[in-house]
Structure 1
């Protein structure tokens, strides 16, 4: 039986992503995605073979929104990498519960591959190549995804910071003082400030 034209990969991805955004990554299954689509789980198997294929569709949808266009070449290379990291953050941070999926499946996502190719081009132009280029790309991926998860699960304005700010001053004076300053740091200041520290170490 031919597949209904209305049930496209994008629609499947949207339904699966709705489950993840609303109920968390652990809630995603063939059953929950099928329910979101208003169909039976067995019917869904006509379109995707398993949860892993659903996950890949979700990642394609998220990373497909990343603008991988190379920034203007007249800007300093660190500024261009910063722009690319900001673009990735903007797309992925819309769906923080799905961040682990982007780590698992980004190597199959055309959007993710295009982003990496653009960043590698900027790094290469700056003289970062060989093993240093490998480490640089991994460090950027690690920073962006880690920063998004920290911002979502442990924001500076959250209860964890409040608890640290209340630690005994005689045992943790610097930690407590830093935590008291933390709520005044905006998410953008935290993300781009940390990114600039990382970028200073790239390329010598």
Structure 2
């Protein structure tokens, strides 16, 4: 639980971590939308019931070595295995072999846990100093390295993408700072440096959202995207034909390959870097991280 600028309590959705206003009447809200409630319900159906836990005891061996780092690592491992919908304090406690209430001594809320998870993932892959030569090579490296983090941890895009309230995660913010320094000294004002750095992060995060959905769909259906598309090929053909979509009707294996998240990311990344280059009045001016 956190508080907004007017002092009113704000809770976090148990599935995606987005903030939601506490209900003034009735039971507290747990999910931000019907879709999140449905994902949580399906996750509970697929999960065997957790065994009854004994009350937390300070002398238990597992709790004696418990700290914030262990809690966060267990949370990241659980999200990697089963997705964000499966993440709960009870599940983490079960994995660690401790009482659930003992976790709150190290992580006071789900919102803070989300922040710590994002920070831990980014902290494990800091951008190099000073980085390669040239602003474009640096920005491309930063985008590719962030993309790789979402490929390894698809759930993370649900916590950082499509929001104006990013996680309180210094290691994530370090990527923004690094990108701004990569362009510093090339004639852009500070506000534009901020916009470019955030634009790159927003692009990578948004491009990575399908990775999270695909990982969840693969766990649920046990089918790859290609297998799913093949099974629905006839239904697509009927719908497209009835809708009179001549260009879409030409889609084949080449178009399917082009629409893969990895290839969409590659295409958009290069077009974005091309556009940034048009902003620079003098691409030959050296910056603090080296010359172009």
Same fold (TM over 0.5): yes
Contact 2:150 2:157 in 1 (8 A): yes
For these two proteins, the number of residue pairs brought into alignment is 202
Higher helix fraction: Structure 1 or Structure 2?
Answer: 1
SS of 2:105 mapped into structure 1 = coil
Match of 1:181 among 254, 257, 264: 254
SS of 1:201 mapped into structure 2 = helix
Say whether 1:18 aligns with 2:91: no
Question: What's the counterpart of residue 99 of structure 1?
Answer: 157
- Aligned 1:1-204 pairs, distance under 5 A: 6-69=65-128, 70-73=130-133, 75=134, 77-103=135-161, 108-153=168-213, 157=226, 159=228, 166=237, 167-168=240-241, 171-178=244-251, 180-185=253-258, 188-204=262-278
Q: TM-score w.r.t. structure 2 length?
A: 0.59
Q: TM-score w.r.t. structure 1 length?
A: 0.81
Task: Provide structure 2 residue ranges, at least 5 long, that are not aligned to the other structure.
Answer: 1-57, 215-223, 279-292
Output one character per residue of 1:173-203: Cα deviation in whole Å (capped at 9) or x when no partner: 2223356532333654332221111121124
Distance (Å, rounded) in 2 between the aligned partners of 1:138 and 1:148: 15
Query: Aligned in 2, Cα 1:87/1:36: closer, same or farther, shift over 3 Å?
Result: same
Contact 1:68 1:111 in 2 (8 A): no
Structure number with bigger Rg: 2
Query: Aligned in 2, Cα 1:5/1:165: closer, same or farther, shift over 3 Å?
Result: same
Distance (Å, rounded) in 2 between the aligned partners of 1:19 and 1:131: 39
Query: Aligned in 2, Cα 1:174/1:135: closer, same or farther, shift over 3 Å?
Result: farther
* Two-structure CA RMSD over aligned residues (Å): 3.1
Deviation at 1:152, TM superposition (A): 4.2
Task: Provide structure 1 residue ranges, at least 5 long, that are not aligned to the other structure.
Answer: none
Distance (Å, rounded) in 2 between the aligned partners of 1:37 and 1:120: 40
Deviation at 1:158, TM superposition (A): 6.5
